[in-house]
Structure formats: C-alpha cells, structure tokens
Amino acid sequence: MRLNKFLSNSGVASRRKCDELIKEGKVFVNGKQVKELGTVVNEKKDKVTVEEKVISLPSSFVYIKLNKPKGYACSASDEKGRKTIYDLIDCDERLFSIGRLDYDTEGLIILTNDGDFANKVAHPKYNIEKEYRVTIEGDIKESELAVMRKGVVIDGERMPSARVEKLSQDDKYTKLSVVIDEGQNRQVRRMFEAIGKSIRLLKRVRIGQVRLGGLSRGDYKDLTEEELNLLVRGK
C-alpha cells in the first residue's frame, strides 16, 4: 500500500496533508525517515510513525456528523490554546474532518477515520455542494446578489460562482442561503466582504444531501447508511 494511502486510511489526515507530512520528513518507516511520496509499505509488517507516534490501520471505521459551535477550531490541536472540535467528541479512534469551518463559523462538520471515504467526498470531481445560512447586517441589493452569483473578483481573481437566495429580511438583518460546490478558504466570508457586507452569523447546514437537521450545537451522531451512500455518490 502506498504510504500516503496508509496514513490517510489510518486517520492521520487527508491524503494531500499526508503527502505534506512525508515531504516535511515527519514520517518514519521501520525507524528510517521517508520523504519519497511513492513509498510503498507493508501494512501488516512495517512500523510506521508520524512525529514519534506509531500509526496503524483502524479496526473499524467511524463516520460522524457534528454541529460545530462558534468558538472552536477544527485542528486536532490549536497553537493558540483554543478549544477544538475534538474536545466535543468522545471517540477512541483518530478522526479527521472532511473540510473545515473557520473559528467563527458554526454548523455541519463530518469526521471519519476512513481515508478512502474522505478522499471520495473531498475530491473536486464530485462537486459536492455545501449550503450555508448567512445573516448579514442591513439589506442587500439585487445587483449585489448578481455579483456573487457570477463570482466576485478579489485582487484581480474571480472567485467561483455561488447560488445565493434571500430568505428573509427585517429592520436590522437579512438572512440568505448560499450554496457553493468549490471549497476555497473562507470562501463565503470573502464573498460578502468583497461587496462590503458584515456577516453576523455563518452556519453550514448541508454537505451534499447530508443535512444538519435538528442536531444541537456541540452534539454529534453517526451518519446513517443512507447518508454515507449519498455522500459517496455525491448526489
């Protein structure tokens, strides 16, 4: 088995991140540092360590959906000492999240120790949609919605287009639905910043056909077999 696949299947991180760990010299096979991405290991015999931690394939796979509260980081450990989503989960397996939400964003996160599953869900070719609920201060013009639907231009580069619909409005706030199928860093926040809008609340409510539903902030539960199938199919 290729080393990056072994690490990913063991719940270390996504395959791309595992490639970075290998190139950075943080991975050892039978006590020897390995930096070649094409390295093949015998998962039954070879001893693989990452930053002195022995890595092994999980005995069973775990698939969880979590309602991330605002004020939690998505990393396994935070250099600033902030709370992380792993403080919310009681699980013996080493999990990683499929995609992330920034510190001030809440909503649906999927965690697993199944690297193959994670790669299928995260791969761009599946174009799996992510839906957000956004509350902004004040009103928003139809012309501004049109700009986001086409793709706002930031520093001379056009961002991916989005489906944006106004849901409701009162004297202070406007609520919108935003659907994207490309996961650029802080994409939704940057879209609204580009048109001068201040976000009051940003919450992810759907990944593919898996919905947050009535899951309370900070709570989590296993994905159903139907949800797993829908994610893998990307529909």
> Catalytic residues, which ones?
102
Instruction: Rounding to the nearest 10 degrees, give the CA dihedral for residues 75, 77, 82, 83.
Output: 80
Q: Are 134 and 178 in contact (CB under 8 A)?
A: yes
Question: What are the Cα distances from residue 176, in Å, to 58, 142, 206?
Answer: 41, 12, 14
